[in-house]
Amino acid sequence: MTEPVLSVRDLRVEFATRRGVLKAIDGVSFDIARGEILGVVGESGAGKSVTGAAVIGLIDPPGRIAGGEIRLGGERIDNLPPEKMRRIRGRRIGMIFQDPLTSLNPLYRIGRQIIETVQTHTDLSAKAARTRAIDLLAEVGIPAPERRIDGYPHEFSGGMRQRVVIALALAAEPELIIADEPTTALDVSVQAQIITLLKRLGRDHGTAVMLVTHDMGVIAEAADRVAVMYSGRVAEIGPVRAVVGDPLHPYAKGLMGAIPTLTQDTGRLAQIPGAMPRLTAIPPGCAFNPRCPKVFVRCRVERPDPIPVGEHRVACHLYDRAEVAA
């Protein structure tokens, strides 16, 4: 079996506060293969963005990686000193943030920003780096890149700025791209274009993509596999067609049931009662148990481990063989 580009095992991220230590990520594990898009989905506060930040080494004090391992191409990177991690960030791991205006310096032309990124991570001359920057802009669909390269961020639309950010992420031909809500601020037609672009990049470059989003429509369209997160844990993970078409975890079922369809009249959409628990008040046992329609005694006292069920891995006592047999 080919070694995954990214391997995360039992990742734990904590934040020290005056109220005590808060566990933002608690035992998350997953792999991403070359050319694969893994969608990471869940409500706000589920831990999606924190997981991405941990992978790329952007957890700052008072936060820290408290346990587990992160391996990139077989090399452990979660315990590297800051300077070594800085060289990996941008060179081997690219990042696409939700709001391109926070990623682009409004005072610099976009060409300068891309060229500086290319030269930081390669040995190209200024002239060759400019040619590379123009090629990147053309690849991500910027019209007339020879002219637009000298524009400022405010001269581009939201969708075009996001394309520029994707070009920046690709500048050093990274092995992995973490895309944190890359389509949230865009209209539907531009979302579709960005999704198509991400899929093509994975196919043409073999780049692994971790796609963080709360939009199941984006996941269904773009991802190969999906990890459903809840309260800093993975509730269910599997191929996107399996998880979207036949979710097993009650939380995943609730997410899918809340999506309207164009093919049939489902009447009133499903609603998950309650809200995601605060980090200071995560319940014992399964974190979803206060909102779960199928909760029973064991759910309130024992945390479920991920269980293989067909193509899925699901953290739910309902699928424990001993529980089913009883």
C-alpha dihedral over 129, 135, 140, 146, to 10 degrees? 100
Q: What is the mean pLDDT of each run of 10 residues along the chain (326 residues)?
A: 89 93 95 95 92 94 95 94 90 86 89 93 91 92 93 91 89 90 76 82 86 86 94 96 93 84 69 88 94 94 94 94 54
What angle is formed at CA 13 by the lines to CA 86 and CA 297, rounded to 5 degrees?
A: 160
Question: C-alpha 112: how far from its chain's center?
Answer: 28
Quick one: which of 287, 238, 235 has its CA closest to 295? 287
Q: Would you state the pLDDT for residue 22?
A: 93
CA 296/CA 59 separation, integer angstroms: 36
Q: Would you state the pLDDT for residue 246?
A: 92
Pairing of strands 75-76, 63-72: antiparallel
**8 A C-beta contact, residue 245 and residue 255:** no
What SS3 state is found at 129? helix
CA 254/CA 258 separation, integer angstroms: 6
Domain boundaries, the chain: 6-92+172-248
First to last CA, the chain: 37
Task: At 208, give phi and psi (nearest 5°).
Answer: -80, 140
Quick one: which of 39, 31, 68, 11 has its CA closest to 241? 39
DSSP 29: E
DSSP 3-state helix, strand, coil percentages of the chain (rounded to 5)? Answer: 40, 25, 40
Task: At 40, give phi and psi (nearest 5°).
Answer: -115, 115
Q: Would you state the pLDDT for residue 325?
A: 47
Amino acid at 268: R
- Per the CATH hierarchy, to which homologous superfamily does domain 6-92+172-248 belong? P-loop containing nucleotide triphosphate hydrolases (3.40.50.300)
Q: What is the dihedral sign for C-alpha 247, 249, 253, 255?
A: negative
Q: Would you state the pLDDT for residue 205?
A: 82
